[in-house]
Amino acid sequence: MMPTNSAIGPRSSRRGMLRTLSAWAGLGAVGAAGGFDGLRPRAALAGPVVAPSSDGVVDPAVSDLARRGVHGYRGRSVNSSVAGDARSGVPTSCLQCVAICGLVGYEQDGRIVKIDGNPHAPNNRGMICAKGQAGVNQVYDPDRILHPLVRVGRRGEGKWKRISMAEALDLVAFGGEIAGQKVQGLKDIYESDAPEEFMLHYGRSRIKGALNHFCKTGFGTSTIGNHTSICETGKWVAQELTIGKHYDINDAANSRYILVMGANVLEAHTSHSYLAQRVIDGHANGAKLVTLDVRLSNTAARSDEWIPVRAGTDLAFVLAMIHVAMHEQPHGAPLYSADFIKRWTNTTVEDLKTHYAPYTPEWASDECGVAAETIRRIAIEYASTKPATLITYRGFVGHYNGTYAEVAAKTLEAVTGNLMIKGGTHRKVSGSWADAYAEVAKKHKSATRKAKKLALLDGVDVHLPTHHVSQWMFENLASGEFGRPKLYMTYCWNGAYTCGDNARTREILQDESVVPFFVAVDVAMSETTELADLILPDATFLERWTTEAPQSYELTKFLQLRQPVAAPLGEAMDMQDIFIQLARRIGGGIAELHSFDTAGEYVEACARLTAKKMDASGKPLYGVDGKPVSGDIWQYLREYGVLWQSLESDYMAHEHRVSDSDLKSALIDPTTKTVWNPAKAKVSPEDARTKGYRGSKKAYKGYVGQVVEGVAYKGFKPDKFNKSGLVEIRSEFLAAGADLVWRDLEAAVREDETFLADHLRSGFACWVPIPEHRMRSGNELVLISFKVNVQIHSRSQNCKWLQEIHHQNPLWLHPKTAQRLLGDIDEGDLVSVTQAMPTLPGDSRQSTAQARTVTARVHLTEAVHPDVVALSFHCGHWAYGRYASGSRMSADLTGSQDGAEEAWWQEGQPAATPETARDWSNARGVHPNWIIPNTPARVSGQFRSNDTLVEVARA
Partner 1 sequence: MSESRSNEAATKRGFGRRSLLRSGAAAAAVSAAAATGCDSRPSTGTGQRWGMVIDLTKCFGCHACSIACKSEQQVPLGFFKSWVITAEKQRPGIAAREFIPVLCNHCEQPPCVAGCPTGATWQRDDGIVVQDDDSCIGCKYCVQACPYDVKYADPLSKTAQKCDFCVHLVDQGFVPSCVNTCNARARVFGDLNDPQSEVSRLITKRRAQPLRPNAGTEPRVFYIGLDPATYEAARRSTDSVPSVGTAGKRG
Q: Quote the least distance from Cβ 19 to partner 1, whole Å.
A: 17
For partner 1, the binding residues in 413-442 under the rule CB under 8 A are none
Q: Quote the least distance from Cβ 98 to partner 1, whole Å.
A: 17
Kindly state the helix (H) or strand (E) to which residue 613 belongs, with its residue range.
helix 599-616
Q: For the window 326-345, what string marks contact with partner 1 as x by the rule CB under 8 A?
A: --------------------
Q: Does 912 bind partner 1 (CB under 8 A)?
A: no
Alpha-carbon distance values, 719 to 206, 243, 765 (Å): 19, 9, 20
CB atoms within 10 A of CB 907: 5
Q: Which is nearer to partner 1, 179 or 863 (CB)?
A: 863
Q: For the window 263-302, what string marks contact with partner 1 as x by the rule CB under 8 A?
A: ---xx-----x--xx--x---x-----------x-xx-xx
Give the 3-state secondary structure of residue 441.
helix
- Reference 142, options 471, 570, 783; nearest CA is 570
Q: Quote the least distance from Cβ 91 to partner 1, whole Å.
A: 15
Q: Which is nearer to partner 1, 301 or 679 (CB)?
A: 301
Pairing relationship of beta strands 811-813 and 781-786 according to DSSP bridges: unpaired
Q: Does 30 bind partner 1 (CB under 8 A)?
A: yes
Q: Which is nearer to partner 1, 59 or 507 (CB)?
A: 59
Q: Which is nearer to partner 1, 22 or 242 (CB)?
A: 22
Count of H helices and E strands in the chain?
Answer: 37, 31
For partner 1, the binding residues in 872-901 under the rule CB under 8 A are 872, 875
Q: Which is nearer to partner 1, 610 or 897 (CB)?
A: 897
Out of 99, 136, 509, 629, the only residue in the binding site for partner 1 (CB under 8 A) is 136
Binding residues for partner 1, rule CB under 8 A, total: 88
Q: Which is nearer to partner 1, 684 or 916 (CB)?
A: 916
Q: What are phi and psi of 907, to 5 degrees?
A: -60, 130
Give the neighbor-by-neighbor strand order of the sheet with 88-93.
88-93, 102-108, 111-117
Q: Does 806 bind partner 1 (CB under 8 A)?
A: yes
- Reference 946, options 436, 570, 397, 561; nearest CA is 397
Q: Quote the least distance from Cβ 803 to partner 1, whole Å.
A: 9
For partner 1, the binding residues in 59-88 under the rule CB under 8 A are 62, 65, 68, 70, 72-74, 76-84
Could you tell me which stretch among 20-28, 524-532, 718-726, 932-940 binds partner 1 (CB under 8 A)? 20-28
Could you tell me which stretch among 233-241, 750-758, 912-920, 928-936 binds partner 1 (CB under 8 A)? 912-920
Residue 272 makes CB contacts below 8 A (sequence gap 6+) with 97, 99, 129, 131, 265
CB-based burial label for 327 (10 Å; 0-12, 13-18, 19+): middle
Q: Does 824 bind partner 1 (CB under 8 A)?
A: no
Q: Quote the least distance from Cβ 171 to partner 1, whole Å.
A: 38
Contact 255, 389 (CB under 8 A): yes
Could you tell me which stretch among 51-59, 649-657, 772-780, 802-810 binds partner 1 (CB under 8 A)? 802-810
Q: Quote the least distance from Cβ 446 to partner 1, whole Å.
A: 51
Contact 188, 219 (CB under 8 A): no
Q: Quote the least distance from Cβ 643 to partner 1, whole Å.
A: 24
Contact 349, 336 (CB under 8 A): yes
CB atoms within 10 A of CB 239: 25
- Reference 653, options 421, 423, 424; nearest CA is 421
Q: Quote the least distance from Cβ 121 to partner 1, whole Å.
A: 13
Pairing relationship of beta strands 487-491 and 517-522 according to DSSP bridges: parallel
Q: Which is nearer to partner 1, 303 or 547 (CB)?
A: 303
For partner 1, the binding residues in 580-639 under the rule CB under 8 A are none
Q: Does 840 bind partner 1 (CB under 8 A)?
A: no
Q: Quote the least distance from Cβ 368 to partner 1, whole Å.
A: 18
DSSP string, 814-870: -HHHHHHHHSS--TT-EEEEEE-PPPPTT--S--S-S--EEEEEEEE-TTB-TTEEE
Q: For the window 738-777, what string marks contact with partner 1 as x by the rule CB under 8 A?
A: ----------------------------------------
Q: Does 794 bind partner 1 (CB under 8 A)?
A: no
Q: Which is nearer to partner 1, 34 or 180 (CB)?
A: 34
Could you tell me which stretch among 364-372, 504-512, 590-598, 910-918 binds partner 1 (CB under 8 A)? 910-918
CB-based burial label for 358 (10 Å; 0-12, 13-18, 19+): middle
Q: List the beta strands (DSSP E) in 444-514.
A: 487-491
Q: What is the 8-class DSSP label of residue 540?
A: P
Give the neighbor-by-neighbor strand order of the sheet with 257-261.
305-307, 288-292, 257-261, 388-392
For partner 1, the binding residues in 304-323 under the rule CB under 8 A are 306
CB-based burial label for 662 (10 Å; 0-12, 13-18, 19+): middle
Answer positive or negative: Cα dihedral of 523, 525, 527, 533.
Answer: positive
Out of 157, 804, 843, 892, the only residue in the binding site for partner 1 (CB under 8 A) is 804
Q: Quote the least distance from Cβ 47 to partner 1, whole Å.
A: 17
Pairing relationship of beta strands 88-93 and 102-108 according to DSSP bridges: antiparallel
Q: Using H for helix, E for strand and C for coil, what is the string for 4-18? A: CHHHHCCCCCHHHHH
Q: Which is nearer to partner 1, 39 or 194 (CB)?
A: 39
Report d(CA 241, CA 248) in Å as an integer.
13
Q: Which is nearer to partner 1, 162 or 820 (CB)?
A: 820
Could you tell me which stretch among 202-210, 542-550, 762-770, 860-868 binds partner 1 (CB under 8 A)? 860-868
Q: Which is nearer to partner 1, 680 or 859 (CB)?
A: 859
